[in-house]
Homo-oligomer: A and B are copies of this chain.
Amino acid sequence: MSPLTELPDDIARDLREFTIEVPSWAYGNSGTRFKVFGTPGTPRDPFEKIADAAQTHAMTGSSPRVSLHHPWDRVEDTAALRSYAEDLGVQLGMINSNTFQDDEYKYGSLTHSDPAVRRRAIDHHLECLAVMREAGSHELKIWLADGTNYAGQDSIRARQDHLANSLAEIYAGLQEGERIVLEYKFFEPAFYHTDVPDWGTSLLHCLALGEQAMVVLDTGHHAPGTNIEFIVAQLLRQGRLGAFDFNSRNYADDDLIVGAADPFQLFRILFEIVQQDAHRPASGVNFMLDQCHNLESKIQGQIRSVLNVQETLAKALLVDREALADAQARYDVLEANAILMDAFWTDVRPALAAFREEQGLPADPFGAFRASGYEEKVAAERVGGNQMGWGA
């Protein structure tokens, strides 16, 4: 309970190695079905998104990769985008496919009953694999908007079979060292059933595909009350936790800043992670953000999310696991819980500030970015053109 002013060496090492991948689309406009609010300085092309994402990394030192969304981030020359990113100190990361914005996909994509639509959707994913290679990445993320709005609209079972076949064709396109990660989502935009609603469904498909298929856990994609850390433990136990999409939610898929709605949940999730050493690079788990900024400053929002993950990871690493195991072995419920909470309530911010300064980073990345003048600069420069958002 004494103030933590310096990180223990092993925790410092883990935090130096730990990275968070940021989503390109978080730097563009986003919103709700009611309204998308634009803001001055919003990127007008993928290069500007990368520039903004590089700011997040420059401040935090922890977010060296940027996920791309295809086709939102399609450029004529992916290699040029890659060089541009590398010049700014970041790398291109996971490729996200998109089968939810074409009219053809109104009733499904990989699950559609029409073979021609499935073909189109499969080909899109194969194209994504090509982009992935050009980007120097090795992961393709598949999230499907597929589902139905009304009972009877389509056959739940037949769609599962179509999905399995479509995924198999995509999987066959993988090369060694590459992988696909399959995301699940409880609802939205489908309101009666979704074709991959839960971790069980995602995992079953991955198991059928092979070892290069893994599950993505988006923290906002569960039914109310779901114990997410249990799912983390279960997927790690199966060796199939491929990636996180971190964000937070109070109601639905609210896509709020990570840790904003329930910081203790984030802590419990990360504690499940560190208990299996899954935070370390060797685990192969890709820790990504997936959030939308409706009201708040975009780059600041990303920095806040990165910091929240980093600080919470530090707390999770601080848990006295030996003492915890001992209390658990004695069935001392309150003591065991208290050991966990002791780490949660420890204020890691001073030690993290020192840790950052040692690495030549701002002690307070959030404040440093606000003071940097970057936002004012791009707001002045980025005049004209179309601000990027979902779909552009």
- List chain A positions with a Cβ less than 8 A from chain B: 1-3, 30-35, 37-38, 100-101, 103, 106-107, 113, 145, 149-157, 160-161, 186-189, 191-193, 197-201, 203-204, 222-227, 229-230, 233-234, 236-238, 249-252, 254, 256-257, 260-265, 268, 272, 275-276, 294-297, 300-301, 304, 311, 324-325, 328-329, 331, 333-334, 336-341, 344-347, 349-350, 353, 366, 390-391
Contact = CB atoms under 8 A, between A and B. Distances in A.
Contact of A192 (B30, B250, B272): B250
Contacts of A149: 254, 256, 294-296, 333
A257 B149 CA distance: 10
Contacts of A297: 333-334
A230 B155 CA distance: 10
B260 A337 contact: yes
A153 B3 CA distance: 25
A193 B227 contact: yes
A151 B33 contact: no
A210 B346 CA distance: 46
Max chain B Cβ within 10 angstroms of own Cβ: one of A30, A254, A334, A349: A334
Contact of A188 (B199, B252, B339): B252
A379 B267 CA distance: 37
A236 B33 CA distance: 32
Nearest to A226: B223
Max chain B Cβ within 10 angstroms of own Cβ: one of A199, A329, A331: A331
Given A152-B340, A157-B276, 6 more contacts: A1-B353, A107-B331, A150-B334, A152-B328, A156-B229, A186-B251
A307 to B, nearest CB: 10
Contacts of A328: 113, 152-155
A154 B229 CA distance: 13
B156 A260 contact: no
A201 B344 CA distance: 28
B236 A157 contact: yes
Contacts of A268: 151
12 contacts: A32-B33, A32-B189, A34-B189, A149-B295, A152-B328, A186-B251, A192-B250, A200-B201, A200-B234, A223-B223, A262-B262, A304-B338
A157 B329 CA distance: 14
A370 to B, nearest CB: 8
A263 B264 contact: yes
